[in-house]
Amino acid sequence: MFKFKFKLLSAALLALVFSNADCAEIHRVRIDGVINPVSSKFIIDAVDRAETEKAAALLIELDTPGGLLEATRDIVQRFLAADVPVIVYVSPDGARAGSAGVFITLAAHIAAMAPGTNIGAAHPVSIGGKGFPGGGEMDSANARALSDKATNDAAALCRSIAQTRHRNVEWAEKAVRESASITALDALEHKVIDILAPSVDSLLSAANGRKVHLKSGETTLQSQGVALRTFEMTWREKFFDKISDPNLAYIFMMIGIYGIMFELYNPGAVLPGVLGGIGILLALFAFQALPVNATGVLLIIFGIILLLLEIKVTSYGVLTVGGAVSLFLGSFMLFDTDVTVFRVSLGVIIPVVIFTLLFFLFAIGMGLRAQARRVETGREALIGQSGEALSEINPRGMVLVEGEYWNAECAAPEGIPKGAKVVVREIKGMTLVVDKV
């Protein structure tokens, strides 16, 4: 009887162990957009979480036009040091793994693509402007040397990744040096990827049983019939990821300028100043993740200065035209790079430039004109008003101004006779300083 109970308990424990083994999950995340510091941290955190929770694998569904090389390098380093199988799946149909996506896909333990997708064009382009960090233009020889240096560095990284993952080294280098790009089917034939799968289920089925080399050693991937657990960016990560978009960063910067300038020329409004400060701070945060060109920023500031001068200086439109041109060029050059996803769209620049012209010429102009307008209420409104001398003013007397009696003081040394027309020049306490009309 005791032996029977012992066997029953052992069987239950074994069943529990195998049940827990079967409960291992595959973590899934999706990256749909530019690779920047925010998305890089999200991917790295996903790898850390999968390791901590001992997930069967981490599945990353990828669709990206490219991104920043430093952010990509951080992801690649984490993949190569991962102690959990990482699967990168370029999907859905029509998706791409461009530029930075090539490095990320090649660095995965298992690289897969959906039909109708493509991978390639990883040639490094000018990020941060075609000049020195301060915005000055380099000569062609220095520019070519810097470009060659960046290309060689990226090619070496891509080649090293391909060698580590036993993928097509020649094509990896060609993707960097010649911007080579191929379809999913060609990528499978050229051993750039491991699996061509139309869906996640078919991918996990094809990946099941494959041997992968982790940091801790070789392991066999168990992916078939394993539950998928999806993780998404938090609202905070989504927010910071969205404001890293160059169009939004540009709009935040302009809103910040509008608000601060309006507050300076209309003190006490408060709300424009608050909104302006928030806009500037958000723009500065976004600029940390974007290739900002200092020349573009200076041109925008110079354009706004010209528009402000137009309000006070009669230039017959010259300053307005100069300000508009400077503002447009600065906006276009703000993120001076050949990477389309890091440039401000013309569809955003043109409306913003037009709105800025209207804002400074009307809103700010009206504020300045209001400040220069003569006061029309209170005692100060009496200055410049006409009246009548009720008595001789030499040097003091009485006047009638705007239907009210006032003590008056004569501004002229010869005095003012009774009944003469007077004009108010100044107010001293309760006494009007008048002069004869």
Please write the tens of the pLDDT for every residue from 177-210: 988 999 999 999 999 999 999 999 999 999 999 9
Report the number of distinct structural domains present in the chain: 3
**174 and 92 in one domain?**
yes
- CATH number for the domain harbouring residue 187: 3.90.226.10
Average pLDDT over residues 277-292: 82
Residue 149 lies in a domain: yes
Q: Which residue, 203, 236, 269, sits at the end of a domain?
A: 236
Please write the tens of the pLDDT for every residue from 55-98: 999 999 999 988 888 889 999 999 999 999 999 999 999 999 99
**208 and 188 in one domain?**
yes
pTM: 0.67
- CB–CB of 431/407 below 8 Å? yes
Please write the tens of the pLDDT for every residue from 23-53: 579 999 999 988 888 899 999 999 999 999 9
State the pLDDT at residue 340. Answer: 66
Average pLDDT over residues 137-165: 78
- Residue 377: pLDDT band (50, 70, 90) is low
Q: What is the DSSP letter of 83?
A: S
**385 and 332 in one domain?**
no
* Percentage with pLDDT > 70 across the chain: 82
pLDDT at 371 over 70: no
| Bridge partners (DSSP) listed for residue 98 | 120
Higher pLDDT, 396 or 44: 44
Q: Which structural domain range is residue 393 located in? A: 379-436
Average pLDDT over residues 212-230: 90
C-alpha–C-alpha distance, residues 19 and 321, integer Å: 74
State the pLDDT at residue 40. Answer: 92
Q: Which residue, 372, 397, 427, sits at the end of a domain?
A: 372
SS3 346: helix
- CATH number for the domain harbouring residue 386: 2.40.50.140
* Contacts by 388-391, CB closer than 8 A, 24 or more apart: 388/419, 388/420, 388/421, 388/422, 389/416, 389/417, 389/418, 389/419, 389/420, 389/421, 389/422, 389/434, 390/418, 391/418
Q: Which residue, 372, 393, 409, sits at the end of a domain?
A: 372
Task: Report which secondary-structure segment, H or E, holds 138.
Answer: none
Q: What is the DSSP letter of 427?
A: E
What phi and psi values does residue 234 have, to the nearest 5 degrees?
-70, 165
**200 and 89 in one domain?**
yes
pLDDT at 239 over 50: yes
State the pLDDT at residue 140. Answer: 58
**278 and 153 in one domain?**
no
C-alpha–C-alpha distance, residues 122 and 118, integer Å: 12
**What tokens were used for 315?**
């230039």
State the pLDDT at residue 76. Answer: 95
pLDDT at 160 over 60: yes
**138 and 276 in one domain?**
no
Whose CA is closest to 100, among 45, 159, 189, 176?
176
